[in-house]
Homo-oligomer: A and B are copies of this chain.
């Protein structure tokens, strides 16, 4: 962590020195000057020393050119773009940004680079924008790094009248992420989201250099995923025949994400959260829709895979393998959260099987997991699980298994002590749905189980290595915001997520330690830019405040 700390110190210093740039996340290392520089009318992004550049790099260049033309972000100061009009009118012009790959680097597609194992992705880049108008350069050792650099480049510019400019040239950035995993989770099972909404979410993720879309695609309520060989699951379990993700939809989303530097980690939650499978395979589900649901599950409807059944273990393994073929990621999540022992205790078939074999419930869970994880690993996937699988159930997990810590950030230490790589996903910091009222019916005045609302400041000030030893800290892959959608749909996907989810994106890219009190202006810039690009972020303050950095601070 020594190298990281040095970067942090540098970044913290520079964030004071460089107050007007609209970058998010803040680069790990940046130096800026104070000269004005504007883009020439014929400004062009050129792919230089890259042999056989992949099509998704060409597309990324085109999108970046589009942003430079269309963002039209005026500086958030009183007077907006007019303030800089005179200063930039006679500024030198920049006519070109040239992209190059480092010597010996191969130009694989951005998607292929993004879909590598999370710790093998090379996202670093060096960006130089000289003040004298000679060409800007962007170099990296992978197309993924070039893409991250393009994302940064698109955020360097403001608009005044028809002039696109910076007042901070020269700019030199050396950047790479503090943590390899920076995610965003969306649940498409409680309520359904059309492909267009998911793509818009992916766009937003990519703009803040999130590299992992954690897709909680099915759950007890609905099974929208069409799985080849298992079509009955969605036929019987999707909310409707139009509320499904076809294999073509998945391919489309995976490709869309990949081209934007994002890997898709799909989750098929097992053995809990599977009630809906009972619609097509009642033989595999214990306590399906049993009532009162609270005696069988953490939320309605109840239903869990019969983990004592060999047939069910085979069905589950085959399903996981079939799903794994739809997603090129090296990872696949088998869930494992909220397994309800009472459900199994009340299921005659499960009890009979346990009695026949002399197994306990935990032994059966372990055995079930060995089978499903075994199949998954044979299919080339690294299993991802929720924290209970590590902490509560004494399940034997292969060492490469990655744990998502969700119940509480207090549980991070325990997971690390067990030696598992982990991703921060704690409800007390990163749950976007907390604080919006309870969704369970007949519960007057009920607030959400994880009140209060988790502010962007709360996530931003999270310490990813709190209480961890140096060795334990090495197990922290990164973190993510999460949206469980009991009370969300396309109507509020954007405002409930953005700009809040950007706070973890910066925390895990730039690293902790940035001053939360000074980043708000950049977050306003981000919000305005997102709006212009079609993502409906909320304003975090009255516009009066956004135009006057610091004026609405607590003690201003």
Residues of A whose CB lies within 8 Å of any CB of B are 80, 189-192, 220-222, 239-240, 291-294, 299-301, 435-448, 451-453, 455-458, 460-461, 485-492, 494-496, 516-517, 520, 531, 536-545, 550-556
Contacts and interface: CB of A to CB of B under 8 A. Distances in A.
25 contacts: A80-B240, A191-B543, A300-B556, A301-B551, A435-B436, A437-B455, A437-B456, A439-B541, A439-B545, A440-B552, A441-B554, A442-B520, A442-B554, A442-B555, A443-B553, A443-B554, A451-B451, A451-B452, A485-B542, A487-B540, A489-B538, A490-B536, A491-B538, A492-B536, A492-B538
Nearest 7 interchain pairs by C-beta: A442-B553, A491-B536, A492-B495, A221-B544, A437-B455, A442-B517, A190-B542
Given A444-B516, A491-B531, A540 B439 contact: yes
Nearest to A489: B539
A517 B438 CA distance: 13
B222 A440 contact: no
B191 A542 contact: yes
Given A435-B452, A440-B554, A461 B445 contact: yes
B452 A438 contact: no
Contacts of A192: 543
Please give the count of copies of this chain that the complex contains: 2
A200 to B, nearest CB: 13
Contacts of A517: 441-442, 444
Contacts of A439: 540-542, 545, 552
Nearest to A537: B491
A487 B545 CA distance: 11
A487 B538 contact: yes
A441 B550 contact: yes
Contact of A441 (B453, B487, B520): B520
A280 B545 CA distance: 19
B444 A457 contact: yes
A485 B541 CA distance: 8
A461 B445 CA distance: 8
A162 B544 CA distance: 51
A445 B551 CA distance: 19
B440 A543 contact: no
A203 to B, nearest CB: 15
A526 to B, nearest CB: 14
A537 B544 CA distance: 28
Contacts of A452: 435, 447, 451-453
A169 B485 CA distance: 37
A53 B330 CA distance: 69
Given A191-B542, A437-B453, 16 more contacts: A191-B539, A222-B542, A291-B556, A293-B551, A299-B552, A301-B544, A439-B552, A442-B555, A446-B455, A446-B554, A447-B455, A452-B452, A489-B538, A491-B531, A491-B536, A495-B496
Contacts of A442: 516-517, 520, 550, 553-556
B461 A435 contact: no
